């Protein structure tokens, strides 16, 4: 498995490129376009899809019965709108939450 991915922003979305091998072992570059939907929240929808695509590429998959699945949400207010006591700091965010016994 090659752990490389390249992303380019294009007019209608994102161009995602990554190396792969065919059945004979020859290296190829695959490309996918992730289009931005023409909706009011299209930019956010496309970014969310892009982040999930990156997570999947690097081995983070949804587990139907899993306890810790990745969630990407647009529900946190900017630091100028929230009380500092309630602010989330980047050090508190984990892709894989710490394990508890």
Whether 55 has a pLDDT exceeding 70, the answer reads yes
The model's pTM is 0.68
Mapped onto helix, strand or coil, the DSSP state of residue 56 is helix
- Tens of pLDDT, residue by residue over 15-39, are 999 999 889 989 999 999 999 999 9
Distance CA 34, CA 47 (A): 9
Distance CA 44, CA 52 (A): 12
Report the chain's mean pLDDT, rounded to a whole number: 80
Mapped onto helix, strand or coil, the DSSP state of residue 61 is coil
């Amino acid at each position: 498995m090659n752990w490389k991915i390249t992303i380019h922003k294009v007019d209608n979305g994102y161009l995602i490129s990554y190396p792969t091998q065919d059945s004979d072992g020859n290296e190829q570059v695959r490309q996918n376009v992730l289009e931005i939907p023409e909706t009011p929240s299209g930019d956010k929808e496309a970014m969310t899809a892009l982040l999930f695509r990156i997570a999947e590429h690097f081995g983070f998959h949804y587990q139907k019965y899993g306890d810790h699945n990745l969630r990407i949400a647009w529900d946190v207010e900017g630091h100028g709108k929230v009380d500092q006591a309630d602010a989330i700091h980047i050090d508190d965010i984990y892709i894989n939450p710490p394990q508890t016994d």
